[in-house]
Structure 1
C-alpha cells in the first residue's frame, strides 16, 4: 500500500450505528446494573410504536457518569465555577429606596444602576440589587455641592447606618469626617447628601467571616474610587489597615 495512503486518516462516518444508537445516561451507583436490567426488560414495549421501533432497532447504549465523591462534598472547587442559581429572584440591578413610609433614608437614595468616581470620573455598574434594608453592603456618600465622596460599609441594614450619618449632619456634629465636611461646606444642610449602595457582600461557598470580607471590599472601593483625603473623605488608614 502506498505510504501517502497510509498517512491519510479515514473520516469516520457520521451516520454509523454507534453514533445513532440512543443512550441511557445516569449517574453511577450500586444500583446501576439493576436499573440497566429493568430498562432492557421493558424496552420491547416501545416496539408498539412504528417510529420508536425504527429508532430502537439497534438497542440502547447504557452510559454511567461519574458520581460525586466525598472530596466533592467536603471540598468543592469554586475557583472557576459560576453561580448555578441567581442570588435573588430579582432581575433588577442598582440602588433603590425601600419605599417604606417612615424610612428616613429613602429621600436621599440615588435611584440608579451605576455610580461614578468624582476623582477619576470612572463609571461603574452595580452587579446586585440594593435598597435601604440591604445588609452587609458597601456604600458611597457624595456631597452634591462639591462632589467629594466617602466610602463606608455596614453589616446592619443600610438605613440603620444612614440614619446615623443623617443625624450627625443635622445636629452639626464634629464626630465624623462626613458630618464635619457638611458643616464646613453647606452649614450642615443634609439635602446635599446623596447615598448609593455599590456592593453587597455574600457568603462564599467555602464559608468564612462575612464581616472581614466586607472590610476588604470597602478598602477595595476606597482605593478604586480614590476617596482618600484630600481627594475624598476617607482616611488613608482605612485602606492601609486592610492591605
Structure 2
C-alpha cells in the first residue's frame, strides 16, 4: 500500500534581503504602483494603544495573502486582508475613495473628511500568511488573522475605520 509522505518539501533558500537594504524583514513598496509613496517600513503601531509591532516577514506590493493597515490623515486606521496582490487591493481602495463611494467605510470617511483625495491614504503590509505545505483554506486563515489584528490594533469603529469583524472564520465548517 502506498501512502503519501508527511514530510514537507525541502525549504527553498529564503532571500533575506531582496532589495539589498540591510533590512531582512519589513514592508518594501515597489514604488511603481499608484499607491506606493512610502519607504521601507519595519514596524507599525496602533494609534489607539500606541503599542508598536515588528513586521516579521518580507512583504511587497506584489505579495499575496497579506494583512494590511490603512491610515488616513486624522490617524484613524483600518485593517484589511487580501489573497490577491496587495497593490491590486490598494488600487481598489484608492478608486473607491476617488469615486466617493459611501458603501465602504474607508471611502466614506475620505469623502466626508478628506475631500475624496486618495493621495492622502497611507498603507502598510503588516502580516504575510504562507500556505501550509499540506494545503489549507488560505481565505479562512487570512480572515482569522485579519480579525485578530482588528482586535489588537483596536481599529473597530469608533476608534478606527473597521465597521465589522468576521467571526464565521473561527467556526468549523460543520456549523454553517
Shorter-normalised TM range: 0.7 to 0.9
CA shift at 1:198, angstroms?
A: 0.5
In the alignment, the residues of structure 1 paired with residue 111 and residue 39 of structure 2 have an alpha-carbon distance, to the nearest angstrom, of 21
2-structure distance, mates of 1:150, 1:71:
45
TM-score, structure 1 as length reference: 0.61
- Please state which structure has a larger fraction of its residues in helix: 1
For residues 152-182 of structure 1, the C-alpha deviation after alignment (integer angstroms, 9 at most, x for no partner) is 0011111111111001111212121000001
Match of 1:106? 36
Distance 2:78 2:13 in 1: 27
CA contact (8 A) 2:143 2:166 kept: no
Tell me by how many angstroms 1:85 deviates: 4.9
Shift of 1:209: 1.2
Is 2:145 the counterpart of 1:217? yes
Match of 2:135 among 176, 189, 207: 207
Paired residues of 1:132 and 1:159 also in contact (CA < 8 A):
yes
- Quick one: higher RCO (CA 8 Å, sep 6+), 1 or 2? 2
Distance 1:124 1:207 in 2: 28
Q: Which runs of 5+ in 2 are unaligned?
A: 18-23, 171-176
Match of 2:107 in 1: 179
Question: Does the Cα contact within 8 Å between 1:98 and 1:106 map onto a contact in 2?
Answer: yes
Distance in 2, Cα, partners of 1:242 & 1:73: 29
Q: 1:228 aligns with which of 148, 152, 156?
A: 156
User: Offset of 1:87 from its aligned partner?
Assistant: 7.3
Query: Runs of at least 4 residues of structure 1 off by over 6 A?
Result: none
Contact 1:110 1:194 in 2 (8 A): no
Q: TM-score, normalised by structure 2?
A: 0.82
Change (3 A) 1:191 1:200: same
Q: How does 1:130-209 map to 2 (within 5 A)?
A: 130-144=59-73, 146-209=74-137
Partner of 1:128: 57
Aligned residue among 2, 11, 14 for 1:88? 14
